[in-house]
Amino acid sequence: MRWACALALLAALSACLPFNGPIPTPTPPAKTPTLTPVSVMATPLVTATLPLVPSTTDTPPPACLGDPGRVLNGVINSALLAKPMTYRVYLPPCYADGTETHYPTLYLLHGQTYNEDQWIRLGVPATMDRLIAAGQIPPFIIVFPYDYSYLQPPQYHFEDVFMGALIPQVDDAYRTIPDAAHRAIGGLSRGAAWALHLGIHHPDTFGAIGAHSPAIFYSDAASLPLILRDIPAGQLPRIYIDFGDADEQMQNNLDFKKFLDEYNVPYEWHENIGFHDEVYWGAHVDAYLRWYAQGWSTK
């Protein structure tokens, strides 16, 4: 028994002594594979020379991005119209600082009984400033024309002055990118009817059409889908249609949608909660501007 205890004590002491044998060579860790980044690129809507939003770099954004855009006045006097076509122009932040930069252009038309200030009151300039400063959309110019009438397109010369005088004057006075890919038209209510009419009749001028709660002209309701049907696929403008679920024009819009579906015309369709009023349009200004900006860049 005494020898057994002595042997146990000796074994315990040897376990605490340092190891004097050869140190094993550690097994090297497995080599970490080199990862090749995969670039996923969606087919662009238009050819762009700059990314849609500024890339993240160490270069700080220009200080002028913190400044608000400017809203200027313009007017076209034409014997073709009973009243002058006054208009407002929104110039984005930094417009005055980069004299070589050219911009896409959006034309936004107001509703009946309103004027060129309606979209401004609904917050378009302030929303543009915020989205541009955050790098969420590229900067672009917006034109707000005035339509004084309640007539249908064939009954007076609004279209002639818009296409023949307003657009050339804007392109001459401001640094626009004067092609259909960088020009869009939109409107609300009667203004949306004009956006559909002008955009569909002039696909070589407008690459995108936004119709917000459209009150479609009765002279256009059946003919516009037929015109769209005959536009070559590569020249079709992007189309966005939205309205509230309590909109007084909902049935007319559903009938128009039926025509578009019948002729396989591509479009975006958005039914939201709301009425045919400024509360509804003001709540969707952010979404509208983001949609128009898709595929745009400055040059």
Q: pLDDT at position 60, please?
A: 72
Q: How far apart are CA 120 and CA 128, in angstroms?
A: 11
Q: pLDDT at position 51, please?
A: 39
Q: pLDDT at position 21, please?
A: 42
Q: Are strands 70-76 and 85-91 parallel, antiparallel or unpaired?
A: antiparallel
What are phi and psi for residue 175, nearest 5 degrees?
-85, 75
Q: Of the candidates 228, 292, 231, 238, which has an alpha carbon nearest to the alpha carbon of residue 261?
A: 228
Q: pLDDT at position 30, please?
A: 40
The number of CA neighbours under 13 Å toward the Cβ of 155 is: 8
Each of the 299 residues of the chain gets a pLDDT tens digit; together they read 444 444 343 344 343 333 344 434 444 444 333 333 333 233 333 333 333 444 444 567 788 988 899 999 999 999 999 999 999 999 999 999 988 999 999 999 999 999 999 999 999 999 999 999 999 999 999 999 999 999 999 999 999 999 999 999 999 999 999 999 999 999 999 999 999 999 999 999 999 999 999 999 999 998 999 999 999 988 999 999 999 999 999 999 999 999 999 999 999 999 999 999 999 999 999 999 999 999 898 88
Residue in the structure block whose two tokens are 């002028």? 64
Domain segments of the chain as ranges? 63-293
In terms of CATH architecture, what is 63-293?
3-Layer(aba) Sandwich (3.40)
Q: What is the CA radius of gyration of the chain?
A: 31
| Angle at 242 (CA atoms; ends 136, 151), nearest 5 degrees | 115
Q: pLDDT at position 58, please?
A: 59
